[in-house]
Amino acid sequence: MKVFNTVKELRKELEPLRQTSKTIGLVPTMGALHEGHLSLARRAKQECDIVVVSDFVNPIQFNNQHDLDTYPRTIDEDTEKLRGVNCDFLFAPSVEEMYPTPVADKYSFGKLEEVMEGPRRPGHFSGVAVVVRRLFDIVEPQKAFFGEKDFQQLAIIKNLVQQINYNIEIVPCPLVRADDGLALSSRNKRLSAENRTKAPKIHATLSQATQKAGNMSVAQVKQWVIDVFNADPAFEPEYFEIVEDQTLQPIASWNDADGIVGCIAVWMDDVRLIDIIRFK
């Protein structure tokens, strides 16, 4: 695996490969890699000739300075893990390399960003879109791989590709869980030992919620989930929404949509965790 820190060097390496019609797959990450990221890289390796993984903690998508400052940075371990999955190129630029001049670009996603993460993390999705578009411009992949755990981000990125009219296939990849059910996330590293043992309750509760859907209304299931977490001092729920899986608009009745997903954000001390569950 070759490691690149500059755009120029990476482009120079990719250019001749493009001439030989090799397909290029991009896996954008912010590092602190876990099995979820590695599953994206493996999938990319199955579907593309050349796999580029980017490892860049993107400051302009953080709306909370503490979250940015404490975001785990583990480039040496990440490099080893990517070698283990036969990644071809690791792109790990500095902030100055990605953003040599102040960032003026702004993206809007209409109703897609009016729900869940959007209002709670102002500017977040525009910051994600800026870095993802830059990565697309640098790597020019045929396919890009994103995890379904960040369900709203995935919808936003599909919308971005339509807005900018790029011929890039966005490949959604399934969420990966720890054996105890906790959705894998780089932020799990920041949980206290005690909170780590309690955190699987998030998935357990969402799974129970899907069982309740037969007897309860959408509003009742939403309230039940929020009540479960409010009753446990280890958790502070931020939102739980039950949405149509394409438009991400909240539904009022189980018959409102063919694809329905529940999305949650909860705090455990100063760590914010998200998870999803499919109702149908």
**CB-based contacts of 56: which residues, under 8 Å, 6+ apart?**
28, 29, 30, 31, 91, 92, 93, 98, 131
Closer residue to ligand PAF, CB minimum distance, 14 or 274: 274
Closer residue to ligand PAF, CB minimum distance, 58 or 205: 58
Nearest to 172 by CA among 59, 261, 98, 107: 261
Closer residue to ligand PAF, CB minimum distance, 58 or 79: 58
Closer residue to ligand PAF, CB minimum distance, 133 or 203: 133
Smallest distance, Å, CB 250 to ligand PAF? 23
Catalytic choice (34, 37, 66, 203): 37
Instruction: Report the chain's terminal Cα–Cα distance, integer Å.
Output: 40
Measured CA to CA in angstroms, residue 255 lies from 46, 189, 217, 252, 260 at distances of 37, 39, 11, 8, 10
Q: State the Cα–Cα distance between residues 192 and 273, nearest whole angstrom.
A: 13
Smallest distance, Å, CB 148 to ligand PAF? 11
Which amino acid does the sequence have at 267?
W
Smallest distance, Å, CB 204 to ligand PAF? 24
User: Active site includes 203?
Assistant: no
Q: State the Cα–Cα distance between residues 38 and 55, nearest whole angstrom.
A: 12
Q: State the Cα–Cα distance between residues 95 and 83, nearest whole angstrom.
A: 24
Interaction site with ligand PAF (CB under 6 A): 28-30, 58, 61, 128, 131-132, 150, 153
Closer residue to ligand PAF, CB minimum distance, 128 or 248: 128
Q: State the Cα–Cα distance between residues 253 and 274, nearest whole angstrom.
A: 23
Smallest distance, Å, CB 31 to ligand PAF? 8
Closer residue to ligand PAF, CB minimum distance, 176 or 228: 176
Q: State the Cα–Cα distance between residues 219 and 42, nearest whole angstrom.
A: 39
In which residue are the tokens 């998935």 written?
A: 203
Smallest distance, Å, CB 251 to ligand PAF? 25
- Phi and psi, residue 94, nearest 5°: -80, 170
Smallest distance, Å, CB 209 to ligand PAF? 25
Render the burial of 257-267: b for 16+ CB within 10 Å, e for the rest: beebbbbbbbe
Enzyme catalytic residues: 37
